[in-house]
Structure 1
Amino acid sequence: MSVLQVQGLNASYRKNKVLHDVSFEVEQGSLTSIVGPNGAGKSTLLKVMLELHPKLSGDVSFFGSSLSKTKTRVGYVPQRGSVDWDFPTDALDVVMMGLYGRVGWLKRPNKSHKEKAMASLEQMGMADFAGRQISQLSGGQQQRVFLARALVQDADLYFMDEPLAGVDAATERAIMTTLKDLKTAGKTVMVVHHDLQTVEDYFDHVLLLNRTVIAHGKTEEAFTKEHVYRAYGGTLRWMKEA
């Protein structure tokens, strides 16, 4: 079953067109990597789909409906570099923010909400840091907290913008274990990813993007030498050689 349908999506950034006629569908229970060169529009694609950046034209459908009607079913983890980590709050409060869509901004979270937030921190190995100021956490720990905030939403479809960028090996393993657990539970995950070497090991689907869709489908079918060359302009040495 398709949980996401994108048709003829076009968008620009600072008067430069960054997405051109982007169309694809995503199946339920898939774990998809979005890969492409710098400036290919990967992060912009997520923002446009989530209405965080305006589109020029095109349609995006979530679970056969609009984003406004399905927001509680969609989770988003932006790039860590886009977050003000000096904001004076602790790890538990950051995770609790993921519940505001259900709790309401003017209502106080109750005991069950706090327990859910703690369970998400525990899942990411960060329960012992619940009271730690986020500015005092390492980059990998901050990323785990941010992922815990997404998990506590218990969404059906997750978008994650480079969650593995700049993290240590242990955090990378923890994040990928979590993403694969989400897939096993029937959730759908789309991840902007930068490391071509791990695409085949980590993801069952791939979307190769360079302003438009170069290829999309099961990793073993879409992640080919020809498609990677087309996405990267033929300048990238194929990682399987030598």
Structure 2
Amino acid sequence: MTNRNRNVPPLAVSGLTVAYRKKPVLRDVTFEIDERQLVGIIGPNGAGKSTLIKAILGLQPALSGEALIYGKPYKVNRKLVGYVPQRESVDWDFPTSALDVVMMGRYGHLGLFRRPGARERELAMDCLDKVGMADFAHRQISQLSGGQQQRVFLARALAQDATLYFMDEPFAGVDAATEKAIVTLLNELKRNGKTVLVVHHDLATVADYFDSVLLLNGEVIACGPTETTFTPERLQQAYGGKLAFVARSEREPAGAAGNGR
């Protein structure tokens, strides 16, 4: 793919500092991610996890530092990047079908003056099929359940045919079937040589889902293989006094708090 350099990491962040209304949210964030990794971005509420992704993608201005995609800024290598935003940030009342949403993932490959054709439609249908949504291709996006909407956005990310993916809380508020579909998709992406960073809250599933973790709380607490990084000591550093409450919450039965996590 264009501008991909296999000799440099998919993502390298150096000295990234971001503030909202002069209040620092991220301070001197520095880390690198290796290829073909499923990476969980873990930390308490307000730790700056979503802000980190937005800053990397140029959606949130940074005070200092840089983020490089295969050694180049995002605006140069944006075709290598797929993004699944938080479901709450999307206008689900926009009048469009699930198929149209997925086909939007092809626009970056088509350029300004080409319209999606039969090939793009076929590819979009294939992506919907992979997330179990082919039968809903012509359904208005507003008529889908929360889990179904999330699957459609995952299909759109697949249609982008990216190399590096960012997913902001894809497991939030989904049912068990959708969670299983997401995990299957993540592992398929990895098998296909992709690198995926996922903002995630369920501490109980981190060791099962991710090869590596980035522990974040305004700054990088630790970044590395899950086995050696996702430890009680590091979690205590990241969550502080909130850790006991979080641990209890994650051990609740799935039905205790509805469909969400």
Q: Report TM bin, short chain.
A: over 0.9
2:6 aligned with 1:6: no
Shift, 1:60, TM fit: 1.0
Q: Distance in 2 between matches of 1:168 and 1:183?
A: 23
Q: Distance in 2 between matches of 1:194 and 1:165?
A: 8
Shift, 1:239, TM fit: 4.1
User: Which residue pairs with 1:229 in the alignment?
Assistant: 236
User: Which residue pairs with 2:173 in the alignment?
Assistant: 166
Q: Distance in 2 between matches of 1:122 and 1:96?
A: 13
Instruction: Map 1:102-113 onto structure 2 (within 5 A).
Output: 102-113=109-120
Give the AA of the match of 1:126: M
Shift, 1:105, TM fit: 4.1
Instruction: Name which of 213, 219, 222 aligns with 1:215.
Output: 222
Shift, 1:57, TM fit: 0.1
Shift, 1:48, TM fit: 0.2
Kindly tell me the number of residue pairs found equivalent between the two proteins.
241
Instruction: Name which of 18, 42, 50 aligns with 2:49.
Output: 42
2:168 aligned with 1:200: no
User: Which residue pairs with 1:66 in the alignment?
Assistant: 73
Shift, 1:117, TM fit: 0.4
* SS of structure 1 residue aligned to 2:93: coil
2:69 aligned with 1:51: no
* SS of structure 2 residue aligned to 1:236: helix
Larger displacement relative to structure 2 (1-10 or 127-136): 1-10
TM-score (norm 2): 0.90
Give the AA of the match of 1:165: A
Q: Distance in 1 between matches of 2:67 and 2:170?
A: 23
User: Which residue pairs with 2:27 in the alignment?
Assistant: 20
* SS of structure 2 residue aligned to 1:116: helix
Give the AA of the match of 1:197: A
2:161 aligned with 1:154: yes
Q: Where in structure 1 do 4 or more consecutive aligned residues deviate above 3 Å?
A: none
Shift, 1:107, TM fit: 2.5
Give the AA of the match of 1:50: L
Q: Distance in 2 between matches of 1:195 and 1:106?
A: 43
* 1:173-201 deviation line (CA, Å, top 9, x unaligned): 00010001101111000000010010000
Q: Distance in 1 between matches of 2:242 and 2:67?
A: 32
Larger displacement relative to structure 2 (156-165 or 56-65): 56-65
Q: Distance in 1 between matches of 2:97 and 2:211?
A: 35
* SS of structure 2 residue aligned to 1:37: coil
* SS of structure 1 residue aligned to 2:240: coil
Segments of structure 2 that go 5 or more residues without pairing to the other structure are 1-7, 252-261
Q: Distance in 1 between matches of 2:31 and 2:175?
A: 32
- Call closer, same or farther: CA 1:105–1:136 in 2, change over 3 Å: farther
* SS of structure 2 residue aligned to 1:233: helix
Instruction: Name which of 122, 127, 131 aligns with 1:115.
Output: 122
* SS of structure 1 residue aligned to 2:103: helix
Q: Distance in 1 between matches of 2:89 and 2:242?
A: 29
2:159 aligned with 1:143: no
Q: Distance in 2 between matches of 1:25 and 1:39?
A: 22
Q: Distance in 2 between matches of 1:69 and 1:235?
A: 40
User: Which residue pairs with 1:185 in the alignment?
Assistant: 192
User: Which residue pairs with 1:131 in the alignment?
Assistant: 138
Q: Distance in 2 between matches of 1:82 and 1:59?
A: 25
Q: Distance in 2 between matches of 1:59 and 1:90?
A: 37
Q: Distance in 2 between matches of 1:46 and 1:195?
A: 19
2:97 aligned with 1:95: no
TM-score (norm 1): 0.97
Shift, 1:224, TM fit: 0.4
Instruction: Name which of 27, 32, 40 aligns with 1:33.
Output: 40
Segments of structure 1 that go 5 or more residues without pairing to the other structure are none
